[in-house]
Every structure is written in structure tokens, then in C-alpha cells.
Amino acid sequence: MYPFHTAAFADADTPFDEARYIIFGVPYDGTTSYRAGAREGPAAIRAVSFNFESYLVDYDLDLADVSICDAGDLDPSSLPDAVVADVEAAVRGICRAGKIPVMLGGEHSITPGAVRAVLPEWYVVCDAHLDLRSEYGGTPDNHACACRRVLEDGMSNIVIVGARSGTREEYDIARRLHLYTADEVRKRGMNVVAEEIAGLIGGARTYLSIDADAIDCCSTPGLGTPEPFGLSPWDVRTLVRALAPSVTGFDYVEVCPCDAGQTAAVAARIIRDFIGCHHTRTRER
């Protein structure tokens, strides 16, 4: 058949049942507090994914040879608690089938639902913000509460990387977790920090959540809540590569494509790198 171009993520054309990686989008930004638009994130990430070669030289791997399915988008409710429940149900189906969920946000409020389904031993999040508020904007399922929800679900092994924004109360909580601020990463270097985090995790099952605003808004300005003095795309790629073999659930959230496409491009490229790295380092298991 003539290869019609679909709206799916590039090289994600394996049927669900045969795929190891299940990409899906959650075009939801209903609790946005500053600049709306993260609902456009999944489409922007998919569109720019076709810009990249399917061959990943770093792994001598062609993503066309990896079994990846793009399952499409969830049709999100307008109610934040219903969205989180839908995400949990969707991800549970993916995990029960023995597959790795790769979720495209959408805002960060969706992550706790995925974590509830993946049931990891560690939760690692890259984020400018601590997201440790008890509630915000009248709901505990606000994007500013994502990490607090994971914590209150009973997750004690939490690593926050790249943070530089939060309330005093949030920092009081964060200091009892594993907190690597953006300043600390800049001072020590991500190679050192990533190896330290990989050592903490010790190969245990990990959920890795990348909030796009972990990266400095001066390089990727397509963000709902932009913060300067952040990580670089290189930093995030280094961390993703260090942890990829342990990851059993992955998301990349908070891409708000109001920029010239940089933020979605970094997201798509890091997602492709994650899949390539995970596939290469776990296929012999």
C-alpha cells in the first residue's frame, strides 16, 4: 500500500499486541495556572518526530526495527480527577500486557495516574517546580500537586532533579526526599549527579517523568510555567540515558508549543533516545 502519512509518532507503526513500547498522548491542560496550551503538546511532539532520522547512531539502532506502537490520544474529561483516573486505567492495560508506557502530556497533573498503574519502586522527576502542593486552584489533581500525590500514594523513593521553584513548605518536604536542585546539577555536573541517582536506584523499577520546564526556558520557551536558570537538553538526555535500563514507565509532559518548535523537538528527540537506549540495554535480558 502507498505509505500514507499518519498522525502517529514517527516509527511507531507496530500493532499494539506486538509492540514493546506504547506511546500515547493526553491532550489535557485543564488545571493550567499560567499559560495554557499543553493540550497541543502530543500533536506537536508527533509532528516534529518526523524531522529525525530513524537511525540512532549512538546505539547503532534503527527505530524502524524496534516494536513501537502509537496508540493515539486519550479523550480527556474536563474534570481533573476523571482525567487522572482515565490515565490510570489506560496505563494499567499497557502494563498488564507487559509493555512500557510512554506518555505524552498534557500537563503534569496526569502523571500520578500513570504512576499508580506502573507501581514502580522509585519515582524520578525532572522539573523546575517541586509540585508538592497539597492542593491548588481548588483541586488536589492540579499540575502543581503531581509530586505530592505520588508521595501521598505511599512512594517514599522520590528523586527530584532540576528544581528551582517552590514554596517554603514544599522545600521542607523536598529536603526529606532526594532533591537535586538545578544549581546543584550545574555545580556538580549531570554526569556525576546521574550516576549518583543510578546508584541510589540500583536497578530497581523506576518511573521517570520529564516536565519540559526542567530545561531552561531560554532554550526551550514552549512552556506553561517558564523558569530560567534550568537544566540543558544535554543534562536531561544524560539522566535519561543513565536511568533508562531501570525505567518501566516514562512520560514527557508540559510541552506547550507556543514557541518556534524547540520544546517539542527536544521532547521528541529525548523520547526517541529513551526508547533507543532502553531497547539497546534491555533486549538481552
| Binding positions for Mn ion, rule: CB under 5 A | 108, 127-129, 131, 211, 213
Residue with Cβ nearer Mn ion (73 or 131): 131
CA distances from 111 to 13, 60, 143 (A): 25, 31, 9
Minimum CB distance to Mn ion, residue 57 (Å): 31
Q: Report, in Å, the least distance between residue 211 CB and Mn ion.
A: 4
> Count H helices, E strands: the chain?
9, 10
Are the CB atoms for 228 and 217 separated by under 8 Å? yes
Please identify, using beta-carbon distances, which residue of 52 and 136 lies nearer to Mn ion.
136
> Minimal CA–CA distance to 65: which of 123, 32, 18?
18
Distance from C-alpha of 206 to C-alpha of 123, rounded to nearest angstrom: 6
Residue showing cell 500493532: 15
Cell of 247: 525505567
Closest to Mn ion by CB, 211 or 251: 211
Task: Count other C-beta atoms under 10 Å from residue 186's C-beta.
Answer: 16
CB burial of residue 206 (10 Å; 0-12, 13-18, 19+): buried
Nearest to Mn ion of 128, 247 (CB atom): 128
Alpha-helical segments (H) within the chain: 41-49, 80-96, 111-118, 146-152, 168-174, 182-188, 190-201, 233-243, 262-282
* Pick 61 or 215: Cβ nearer Mn ion: 215
| SS3 assignment, position 257 | coil
CB of 165 to Mn ion, least distance (A): 7
DSSP label of 66: S
Q: Helix (H, G, I), strand (E, B), or coil: what is residue 180?
A: strand
In the bound state with Mn ion, the residue whose beta carbon lies nearer, of 131 and 235, is: 131
Q: Cβ 147 to Mn ion, closest distance in Å? A: 7
Q: Which is nearer to Mn ion, 211 or 259 (CB)?
A: 211
Question: Omega of the bond prior to 106 within 30 degrees of 0, cis?
Answer: yes
Measured from the CB of residue 129, what is the shortest distance to Mn ion in angstroms?
4
Write down the least CB distance from residue 285 to Mn ion, Å.
31
Nearest to Mn ion of 217, 247 (CB atom): 217
